[in-house]
Amino acid sequence: MDDIETIAYTRGWRDYKKRRTIFLFSFVTWIPLCFVISYVANLLGIGDYIWLCVPLMLVWLVLEIRWSLWPCPRCGKQFAVRDGFFYGQSVLIASKCVHCGLWKTDLMRAERLAQKMAKPEHEAAVDDLH
């Protein structure tokens, strides 16, 4: 793996993690947020605003699709989607790109390598001891 690949893989992997984190955050907060909105609306006497959950659910859905369509850092095609189908695997459990066969573990390794290269030499030497 050369430096250009390491940089591209690291950027791609960080993009994947960012999409995943944003989606999971929206997934976890969606239902509590709906209850809070409805509760506050009822407290203020302005009616039941539980219907606001529908647009929030659409936001959640868009974020899920955005994560699912994450492009592979090597080939640029969607990592887990081929011909518009997921072939029984979501991007969460897909271990390798359905187009070029790039493994997620290669992306994780590239990120660790990039972190190692970014550290000062004395810190990297300490990590090598472990």
- For residue 13, the minimal CB distance to Zn ion (Å) is 13
What is the 3-class SS of the chain, one letter each residue?
CCHHHHHHHHHHHHHHHHHHHHHHHHHHHHHHHHHHHHHHHHHCCCCCCHHHHHHHHHHHHHHHHHHHCCECCCCCCECCCECCECCCCCCCCCCECCCCCCEHHHHHHHHHHHHHHHCCHHHHHHHHHC
Instruction: Kindly state whether residue 100 participates in binding Zn ion, applying the rule CB under 5 A.
Output: yes
Beta carbon nearer to Zn ion, 107 or 114: 107
> Which residues in the 32-61 window bind Zn ion by CB under 5 A?
none
Q: Applying CB under 5 A, which part among 2-10, 19-27, 92-100, 112-120 lies near Zn ion?
A: 92-100
Q: Among the candidate windows 8-16, 19-27, 71-79, 80-88, which touches Zn ion by CB under 5 A? A: 71-79
Interaction site with Zn ion (CB under 5 A): 72, 74-75, 97, 99-100, 102
